[in-house]
Structure formats: C-alpha cells, structure tokens
C-alpha cells in the first residue's frame, strides 16, 4: 500500500488540501496527516478510494461533498463533518460539533462520542446505493434528524442512562428513520415525528451497521444486539401537504 | 355550504359565427374549460385562468375573455381580493399559496426614474458607427495591479486575478429550477444564453444531463435543501450560487410537492420518486455571517478556487449591511432579489408583503460597499421584476453590474403571467412536468425567442447609452447623474442618491 505522510503543522487548509489532492493523483492509497489543528474542509470534494488518517482535531466541514474516501480521525471533530457528503466514510474517535452529516446523501459517519445540535439534519437518500448512515456512540443534542428525508440515524447512548435527553427529535422528518437505544420519552419527539415498533427484522437490518461500528471502536457488538431500541420515523411523507390552499 | 361560491373570475365566450368548430381550444386548454357535447363546444368559464392559450391558438379569433364579469359592490378597503381571501381561509383554515411575483398595485420606482440624453453641449454617440462596450465581468476585481518586467523587456501582470464570468451583455437569466419549470424551458434558455454569450441559473433542482452541453453557461445553485448537489454538479457549473433567500418569499424555504417529483426530477434532484422536496428556511450549516464565510470557502475549496461563488439574498430592510458582510466572505458576487421577484409557488402573504423594492436595494448596497471600500471585491447582480431594457439601464445606473431576468424570459417562451405555476398544468409547457404539455415548447424555437429578447434589449441598451454619450457599460455603472427622479419623495431620492427631475 502506498502511504504518504503530511505534516499539517501551521499549514493553512488550502495548501493542505492541495497536498492531499496531489498525493491522491500520485496514486497514494493512505495519507497520514499529522499535527492537524483546526484546518477546515479536509477532504472537501475529494474523490476516490483513498484512506485519510487524521491525527489531531480537524476544523469544520470535514469530508464535505466527499465522494468515496475514508477519513479516520484520531481526535474530535468540529462543526458539520460529512456535510453534503456523497459516499465514503468518516470515523471519528471522539466527539463532533453541530450539524454532523448535514444533508448527507450517502456513505457512513461513525462518531465514538457525542454530537452537538442538529445532527443528521436534512439527511436524504436516493436509489438503493445512496442511503446515508450516521451512528453516534454517545448522545446528541436537540433537533436530531430534523427535516430528515432519508437514511438512518442510530444513537447508542454508550455510558448514558438514557441515550437521548434533548428535545425536538425528528421535527419535520418526512423520510428515513432514527433508531435510539432504549426508551425515548414522547415529549422529546418533534412535530411530525412518530414512534414505530422496533421489530426483529429492524434489528437484523441494523446488525451489520452495529457490527461495523463496534469493529471500528473495539466494542463487543453482543451488548448492542441484545437490547431494546426505539424507532422514530415520519408521521407522514407529506408533512406540508395539508398546510396550503391555492390562491 | 353557507358561504356558497364566489363570482367567477373570467367569462369565456365563443363567437359562434366566427367559430369553425376545429376544437383547438379543447385540445389546448389544460384546465378543462372547453368540452364537446354533440356538435357543440361548451364552455365552463369557472375553470379559466386567463392563460390565453386558447385565444392564441384559435385560428378565427372567435374567443372573447372578460375579466370579472360579475363583481362585488365596490369598496376601497374591502376589495374583491381581500373578501375572497377571507372566504377561502374561512373555508380551509390554511395558508394561501400563490404563483408569479407580487401582484399588488404598488408604485414601481423604475417608472419614476428617468434617463438622460445629450443635447448640443456634449454629442451623443451613434452605436451604428462607434463600438459600444457592453462586455461585463462578474467577480472580484483587484484593488491595484502589479506588473513586472521580464528579461526580454516585456511587461507581465504579476497580480493574480480571481476567476470572473465574462458576459457579452449585462443580462443573465435567473434561477428557475428543473421541477418548477420543464426541461424544454430550461433547454430553450440554455441554448439562448450559449448563443448570446451569457449565463443562466439552474435553480435548486440539479443539472439535468441534457443541459451538460451548456454547462459552461450555467450557474449551479446550492440552496438549503442541497438538492442535486454533489462534487460533479459543482465542477460542471461555470459559477456556483448559494441561495440564502428569494425576493418572492424572503425568510422561508420551499416545498416542491411530491406530485411534481417524477422520475426525471427525482434523478436530477437525487431524491426518491414522489417524495416532497423540502428546502428549510435557513441553511442549517449557516447560522451566522461567519458560517456563511465557511460555506463560501467550502465551495471554493471543493472546486479548487477555480469558480466564482455568488450569494443570493432577498432584498430586505437591512440589505446593505448584509451585502457588506457578504462582500467580506470571499464571495465574488451578491445577487439581490427584489420584492417583485417571481416564483413557482409562495405563500401569498409573503409574495405580496415581505421585502423591499430592488431599485432601492441596489442603490443602498452599492453605496454601502463604496463607503466601506469593498465595491471592487464583489459584483452586484440585481433581479426581481426587470421588465425592459429601461429597467436594465436604470439598474446599472443605480449601481448593479448585471441583472437576472426570470419572468421576462418566460414571457418570451409563451407565458402570459396567469400565475397558476404551482398546478403542474401550464398550457404553455413552462411550469409543468406533464410530457404532452412540456412538448408544446420546441427548444430550438424557444431558444430563438429568448435570444431575440436579449438581443433586442442589448440593442436598446446600446442606443440608450449612446444617446447619453456613454460608450462603455463601465461608465454607466453607478452613474446616478444620468438618472432623475420624477414624483419621488425627498426620502426616496436621498436613498437612491438621485436628483429630482429639473435639478
């Protein structure tokens, strides 16, 4: 495997991304970025099957518009990792800020710790291939999966008594599903969101995702496969159909 | 039904002496006004929208259409419209949805601005003989240029120039998405802008494959729903526009109803078939001016700083400071959409009551940017109710670099401004995804009509400039001395920075 190492110390994001692109063009299969400290837009619009190992804390919009690559972050991430991402994978060995996986269309975002507000907001899906997945090991703040139009948000609540304690879950949701480990109080649901029965077939469906998440972070998947989940989806796929009358 | 029915809006009648019973009215009316019973064509006026398709297609001029055949008792406050809106809401309890632009009879500032011409003391210029420079560059201009002398003694430009769009005329076509309008409408406009050497917007509907041959003339839009947005889409566009707001509905998002999301629309927007396409009111990754900077730069970074990025906002009360913020965000142009801007569908109360006129927005933004020394950092594109070359010339004299037209381009394709764009039944084949209606537009012929309109305005602009003794668009830009206000109050003149007629 061709590996390239880049020292990102004191480097602005534009030259950093230029170096990453040049390495990809040069056939690199793995790029290790050391001393990353707040550089935004790492992997922005990046294509291909390259693997980025990010040592440090990347700035906002990590992997935005990304199509294909995998980014492993050994640290926390800032605002909106996976923003409008098309395909590929982000694995964050820490927590992340607001609007994680905003408008994401495909690929996977795995967060070991917690995320901020508006996680998975306006996530969408298209066809069989483009079905985005956001898995949060810890918990999430308010408006999780707001305006969600597709895909899957899974919150495991590791180390928490209750996986979710913030309100506004799935407000305006009109597609996709939010699955939360354990019970979720009704008052935490946003307008337009509804609880559905979590069935054996649902568990079967998400089992490969749980296993893949556990593999990344070294958890034993057994405890997540032998537990209860709450499934939240849209009360209607046409939340605004009844709001208007024609002139 | 204690409310009963409201009086019909239009009355359609057929002059039976003229009618040759060809049935073209039946074929053409998608609203179902006409039907044949036995040997007679019957008319159901209540279904009429005054789209005038039947009138245009009747070979004998046999159709007459009267507006408001039955009216209410006249009242200056409780107008027909007010009364009918109340009745509608009493029935439904819902938000009233409307199409096209602001339909209120408010004074139009453009109509109270007059252009200048030369007489005796300085000669006017004949565009027939003298070249008229209308070429417009949209994007950042350097505040100063640095040169260096090469070893061979040549002079080379040292300053790195930001990417600009080169327009042969300061007229572009604004963003009308595939979904809101038909592919054939978009194709007609795309062919026209390519021929003219200008640009058009995709709207927030993605870029249909059939438009790829015209991608060098397309400005791709990134709006709050991020529909159709991926790296391929961003790389195809000549420029990228972030839509924050729209003049027809400032402050709110958009909902494309599931009925309009057919297979093609679904593929282009990259959303499931038949699902509602909901654009939230804000971009959820932009909650501040700092976040806007981040979105602008994320788009530049994704496309390796090769493409200009525009930011479109609705003209609202604080438009000038907002634009000043945008000028400092790395954006290359700010698009200001005035309160008369059109739309496929907007809540009527927004369309008719929210926002400010484009004329004052241009003037105050231009002034603010000049005061702050950032006017060269950003181009100003004005839109929202530009109806003619006169509106265009006045916009530029007030400080715009170029304009976007929308409704005017649709009228060139056949639109009669009936305002029923949201019903998917547009008989002119514009605001519809129905194949049999959309096929009423032949993109080749449509392109000629749209190009003709832009050519006509361009010729008129040259003549207007020549008459004013100006031979370059640069000299008209922000040249308020060539404008005079007529019947405008002092406050308005001050905002516009224009003298009253006679002064």
Burial of B144 (0-12, 13-18, 19+ CB in 10 A): exposed
List of chain A residues whose C-beta atoms are within 8 Å of the C-beta of residue B257: 238, 241
**Nearest CA of chain B to the CA of A52: how many Å?**
17
CB B307 within 8 A of CB B209: no
ipTM above 0.90, yes or no: yes
Residue B381 β-bridge partners: B335, B402
The separation between CA A164 and the C-alpha centre of its own chain, rounded to angstroms, equals 16
| Residues A66 and A103 grouped into a single domain | no
Identify all chain B residues contacting A146, using CB atoms and an 8 Å cutoff: 284
Q: Does any domain span residue A205?
A: yes
Indicate if A118 and A53 belong to the same structural domain: no
CA A82 remoteness from chain centre: 6
CB contact under 8 A, B92 and A245: yes
Indicate if the pLDDT at residue B108 is higher than 80. yes
Name B447's Cβ contacts closer than 8 Å, sequence gap at least 6: B187, B188, B189, B190, B191, B192, B195
- Scanning every residue of chain B, which has its alpha carbon at the shortest distance from the alpha carbon of A43? B302
**B303–A174 C-beta distance less than 8 A:** no
Residue A244 lies in a domain: no
The answer to whether residue A115 sits within a structural domain is yes
Q: Do B229 and A247 touch (CB under 8 A)?
A: no
Overall average pLDDT of the B48-77 stretch: 96
B80 touches chain A (CB under 8 A): no
Structural domain that includes position A102: 95-239
B37/A169 Cα distance (integer angstroms): 56
Helix (H, G, I), strand (E, B) or coil at B453: helix
Q: Which of B353, B364, B411 is nearest to B387 (CA)?
A: B411
Q: Which residues of B touch A47 (CB under 8 A)?
A: 231
Contacts of B165 (CB under 8 A, 6+ apart): B137, B138, B139, B199, B219, B238, B239, B308
Q: Which of A106-120, B117-131, B327-341, B390-404 has the lowest mean pLDDT?
A: B117-131
**Beta-carbon count within 10 A of B21 CB:** 12
Distance CA B394, CA B498 (A): 11
Buried b / exposed e over B193-212, threshold 16 CB at 10 Å, is: bbbbebbbbbbbbbbbebbe
pLDDT in tens, chain A (247 residues): 899 999 999 999 999 999 999 999 999 999 999 999 999 999 999 999 999 999 999 999 999 999 999 999 999 999 999 999 999 999 999 999 999 999 999 999 999 999 999 999 999 998 878 899 999 999 999 999 999 999 999 999 999 999 999 999 999 999 999 999 999 999 999 999 999 999 999 999 999 999 999 999 999 999 999 999 999 999 987 777 788 888 7
CB atoms within 10 A of CB A103: 29
N-terminal to C-terminal alpha carbon distance within chain A:
63
Q: Is B318 on the interface with A (CB under 8 A)?
A: no
B297–A243: do the CB atoms touch at under 8 Å?
no
DSSP one-letter string for chain A: --EEEEE-TT--HHHHHHHHHHHHHTT-SEEEEEEEES---TTTT-BSS-EEEEEEE--SSTTTT-EEEEEEEES---S-TTTT--EEEEEESS---SSTTTT--SSEEEESS-B-TTTTTT---BTTTB--EEEESS-B-SSTTTT-EEEEEEE--TT-SSS---S-BTTT--EEEEEEES---GGGB-TTEEEE---HHHHHHHHHHHHHHHHHHT--THHHHSS-EEEEEES-S-TTTTSEEE-
**Residue-wise DSSP of B401-418:** SEEEESHHHHHHTT----
Report the residue of chain B nearest A80, measured CA to CA: B285
Counting Cα atoms < 13 Å in the Cβ hemisphere of B467 gives: 11
Q: A217: domain CATH number?
A: 2.160.20.60
Q: Provide the pLDDT confidence category of residue B371 given band limits of 50, 70 and 90.
A: very high
B443: closest CA of chain A, how far (Å): 29
In angstroms, the CA B33 to CA B25 distance is 9
**Alpha-carbon distance B144 to B132, whole Å?**
26
A146 and A220 housed in the same domain = yes
- How far apart (Å, rounded) are the C-alpha atoms in residues B120 and B106? 38
- The answer to whether the Cβ–Cβ distance between B230 and A84 falls below 8 Å is yes
Of A86, A174, A246, the CB nearest to B278: A174
Q: Are residues A230 and A117 in the same domain?
A: yes
What strand order describes the sheet that includes A67-74?
Answer: A3-7, A30-37, A51-57, A67-74, A87-92, A108-111, A133-136, A149-155, A175-181, A229-234, A193-196
Three-state secondary structure call for residue B167: strand
Separation CA B368–CA B328 (nearest Å): 13
Q: Which residues are registered as beta bridge partners of A32?
A: A5, A53
A140 and A21, same structural domain? no
Per-residue confidence (pLDDT) for residue B482, from 0 to 100: 96
Contact by Cβ (8 Å): B55, B65: yes
Predicted pLDDT at A11: 98
- Work out the minimum CA distance from A238 to partner chain B, whole angstroms: 6
Residues A114 and A211 in one domain: yes
Contact A45 B302 (CB under 8 A): yes
Of B230, B271, B285, the CB nearest to A67: B230
Cβ contact B276–A125 (<8 Å): no
pLDDT of residue A147: 92
Q: At what angle do helices A13-25 and B289-302 cross, to 10 degrees?
A: 20
CA angle B497, B375, B316 (to 5 degrees): 60
Judge: B225–A122 Cβ closer than 8 Å, yes or no: yes
Interface test with A, best of B94, B233, B271 (most A CBs within 10 A): B271
B335 interfaces chain A, CB cutoff of 8 Å: no
A48 lies in the same domain as A113: no
Position A246 in a domain: no
Asked if A86 lies within 8 A of B294 by C-beta distance, the reply is no
Neighbours of A28 (CB within 10 A): 21
| Residue B311: φ, ψ to 5° | -125, 125
Helix B358-371 to helix B319-327 angle (10° resolution) is 50
Contacts of B225 in chain A (CB under 8 A): 103, 122
Interstrand relation of A30-37 and A3-7 (parallel, antiparallel or unpaired): parallel
- Using the beta-carbon criterion (under 8 Å), do A130 and B230 form an inter-chain contact? no
Residue B466 in contact with partner chain A when CB distance is under 8 A: no
Task: Tell me how close the Cα of A213 comes to any Cα of chain B, in angstroms.
Answer: 26
Please answer yes or no on whether B301 and A41 come within 8 Å at the CB atom. Answer: yes
What is the C-alpha to C-alpha distance for residues B416 and B180, in angstroms, rounded to an integer? 16
Handedness of CA B473, B478, B484, B488 (dihedral sign): positive
Using alpha carbons, select from B379, B425, B419 the residue that is nearest to residue B172: B379
The closest CB to that of B231, out of A83, A86, A149, belongs to A86
Closest residue by Cα to residue B316 from B363, B369, B357, B352:
B357
Write phi, then psi, for B369 (nearest 5 degrees).
Answer: -65, -35
Residues A64 and A163 in one domain: no
DSSP output for A119-137: TTTT---BTTTB--EEEES
Residues of A in contact with B258 (CB under 8 A): 237-238, 241
Structure token digits, residue B404: 């976007």
Q: pLDDT band at B201, cuts 50/70/90?
A: very high
CA atoms within 13 A on the CB side of B265: 25
User: Residue B270's pLDDT is what?
Assistant: 84
Cα(A142)–Cα(A42) distance, integer angstroms? 26
Sequence-ordered strand ranges (E) for B244-395? 254-256, 277-279, 309-314, 333-337, 346-347, 379-383
Domains in chain B with CATH codes: 10-94 (3.30.70.20), 168-500 (3.20.20.70)
Judge if A33 and A102 occupy the same domain.
no
A56 phi, psi to nearest 5 deg? 135, -160
Asked if the Cβ–Cβ distance from A67 to B231 is below 8 Å, we say yes
The pair of three-digit structure tokens given for residue A64, joined into one six-digit string? 């935005």
Using CA atoms, how far apart are residues A1 and A51, in angstroms rounded to an integer? 11
In chain B, the percentage of residues whose pLDDT exceeds 70 is 100
Interface test with A, best of B91, B103, B221, B226 (most A CBs within 10 A): B226
Contact B298 A61 (CB under 8 A): yes
Q: What's the pLDDT at B365?
A: 98
The CA-based angle A127-A133-A134, given to 5 degrees, is 150
What's the gap in Å between the CA of A99 and the closest CA on chain B? 6
Is pLDDT of B1 > 70?
no
Q: pTM of the prediction?
A: 0.96
Number of Cβ pairs closer than 8 Å across A and B? 135
The alpha-carbon gap from B233 to the nearest alpha carbon of chain A, in Å, equals: 10
Cross-chain CB nearest to A125 (options B89, B272, B304): B272
How far is Cα B65 from Cα B270, in angstroms, rounded to an integer?
Answer: 42
**Does residue A166 sit in the same domain as residue A212?**
yes
Query: Do the chains contact at B298 and A65, CB–CB below 8 Å?
Result: yes
Are A99 and A57 in a shared domain? no
Residue B135 has pLDDT above 70, yes or no: yes
Last residue of a domain, one of A74, A105, A133: A74
In this complex, is the C-beta atom of B296 within 8 Å of any C-beta atom belonging to chain A? Answer: no
Residue A85 included in any domain: no
Residue that finishes a domain, picked among A39, A74, A109: A74
Q: What is the mean pLDDT of chain B?
A: 95
Same domain, A56 and A104: no
Residue ending a domain, choose from A74, A106, A132: A74
Q: Which of A42, A45, A61, A44 is nearest to A53 (CA)?
A: A42
Residues B214 and B278 sit within 8 Å (Cβ to Cβ): no
Sort out which chain A residues have CB atoms less than 8 A from B46's CB and list them: none
Number of domain units in chain A:
2
Our CA-based measurement puts residue B230 at a distance from the nearest CA of chain A, in whole angstroms, of 6
* C-alpha–C-alpha distance, residues B171 and A9, integer Å: 46
Spell out which residues of chain B touch residue A130, defining contact as CB-CB under 8 Å: 270
Q: List the structure tokens of A43.
A: 């992997």
Closest approach of B197 to chain A, Cα-based (Å): 29
Quote the strand ranges of B24-100, DSSP E. 34-37, 40-43, 63-67, 95-98
A113 in Cβ contact with A95 (< 8 Å):
yes
Distance from CA of B416 to the nearest CA of A (A): 17
Pairing of strands B483-485, B379-383: unpaired
């Amino acid at each position: 495997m061709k590996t390239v190492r880049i020292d990102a110390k004191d480097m602005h994001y534009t030259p950093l991304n230029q170096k990453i692109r040049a390495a990809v063009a040069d056939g690199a299969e793995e790029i290790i970025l050391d001393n990353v400290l707040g550089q935004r837009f790492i992997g922005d619009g990046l294509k291909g099957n390259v693997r980025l190992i990010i040592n440090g804390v990347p700035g906002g919009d990590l992997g935005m518009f990304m199509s294909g690559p995998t980014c492993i972050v050994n640290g926390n991430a800032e605002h909106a990792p996976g923003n409008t991402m098309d395909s590929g994978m982000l694995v964050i060995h820490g927590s992340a800020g607001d609007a994680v996986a905003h408008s994401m269309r495909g690929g996977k975002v795995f967060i070991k710790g917690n995320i901020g507000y508006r996680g998975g907001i306006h996530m969408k899906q298209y066809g069989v291939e483009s079905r985005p997945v956001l898995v949060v090991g810890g918990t999430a703040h308010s408006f999780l999966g707001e305006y969600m139009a597709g895909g899957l948000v899974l919150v495991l609540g590791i180390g928490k008594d209750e996986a979710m304690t913030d309100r506004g879950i799935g407000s305006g949701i009109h597609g996709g599903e939010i699955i939360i480990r354990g019970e979720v109080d009704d008052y935490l649901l946003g307008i337009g969101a509804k609880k559905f029965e979590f069935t054996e077939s649902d568990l079967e469906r998400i089992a490969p995702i749980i296993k893949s998440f556990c593999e990344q972070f070294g958890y034993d998947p057994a405890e997540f496969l032998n537990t209860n989940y709450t499934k939240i989806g849209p009360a209607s796929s046409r939340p605004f159909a009844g709001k208007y009358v024609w002139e | 039904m204690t409310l009963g029915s409201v009086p019909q809006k239009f009355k359609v009648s057929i002059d039976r002496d003229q009618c040759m019973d060809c049935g073209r009215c039946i074929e053409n009316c998608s609203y179902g006004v006409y039907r044949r019973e036995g040997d007679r064509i019957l008319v159901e006026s209540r279904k009429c929208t005054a789209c005038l398709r039947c009138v245009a297609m009747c070979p004998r001029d046999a159709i007459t259409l009267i507006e408001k055949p039955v009216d209410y008792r006249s009242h200056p406050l409780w107008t027909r419209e007010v009364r009918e809106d109340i009745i509608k809401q009493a029935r439904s309890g819902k938000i009233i949805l409307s199409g096209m632009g602001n339909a209120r009879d408010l004074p139009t500032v453009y109509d109270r601005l007059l252009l200048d011409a030369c007489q005796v003391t300085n000669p006017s210029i004949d565009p027939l003989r003298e070249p008229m420079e209308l070429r417009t560059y949209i994007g950042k201009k350097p505040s100063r240029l640095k040169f260096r002398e090469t070893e061979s003694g040549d002079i080379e430009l040292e300053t790195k120039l930001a990417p600009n769009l080169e327009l042969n005329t300061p007229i572009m076509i604004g963003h009308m998405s595939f979904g809101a309008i038909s592919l054939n409408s978009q194709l007609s406009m795309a062919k026209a802008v390519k021929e003219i050497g200008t640009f058009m917007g995709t709207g927030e509907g993605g870029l249909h494959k059939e438009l790829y041959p015209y991608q060098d003339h397309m400005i791709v839009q990134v709006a709050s729903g991020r529909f159709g947005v991926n790296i391929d889409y961003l790389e195809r566009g000549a420029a990228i526009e972030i839509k924050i707001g729209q003049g027809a509905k400032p402050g709110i998002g958009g909902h494309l109803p599931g009925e309009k999301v057919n297979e093609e629309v679904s593929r282009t927007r990259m959303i499931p078939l038949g699902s509602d396409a909901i654009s939230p009111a804000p971009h959820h990754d932009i909650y501040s001016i700092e976040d806007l900077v981040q979105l602008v730069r994320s788009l530049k970074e994704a496309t390796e700083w090769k493409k200009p990025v525009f930011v479109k906002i609705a003209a609202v009360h604080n438009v000038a400071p907002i634009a000043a913020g945008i000028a400092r965000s790395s954006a290359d142009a700010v698009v200001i959409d005035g309160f008369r801007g059109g739309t496929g569908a907007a809540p009527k109360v927004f369309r008719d009551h929210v926002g400010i006129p484009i004329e004052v927005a241009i003037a105050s933004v231009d002034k603010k940017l000049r005061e702050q020394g950032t006017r060269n950092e950003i181009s100003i594109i004005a839109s929202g109710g530009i109806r003619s070359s006169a509106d265009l010339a006045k916009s530029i004299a007030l400080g715009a670099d170029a304009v976007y037209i929308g409704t005017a381009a649709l009228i060139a394709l056949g639109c009669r401004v009936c305002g029923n764009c949201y019903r998917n039944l547009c008989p002119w084949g514009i605001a519809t995804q129905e194949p049999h209606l959309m096929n009423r537009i032949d993109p080749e012929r449509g392109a000629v009509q749209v190009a003709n309109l832009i050519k006509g305005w361009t010729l008129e602009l040259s003549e207007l400039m020549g008459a004013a003794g100006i031979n370059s668009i640069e000299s008209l830009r922000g040249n308020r001395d060539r404008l005079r206000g007529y019947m405008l109050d002092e406050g308005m003149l001050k905002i516009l920075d224009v003298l009253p007629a006679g002064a």
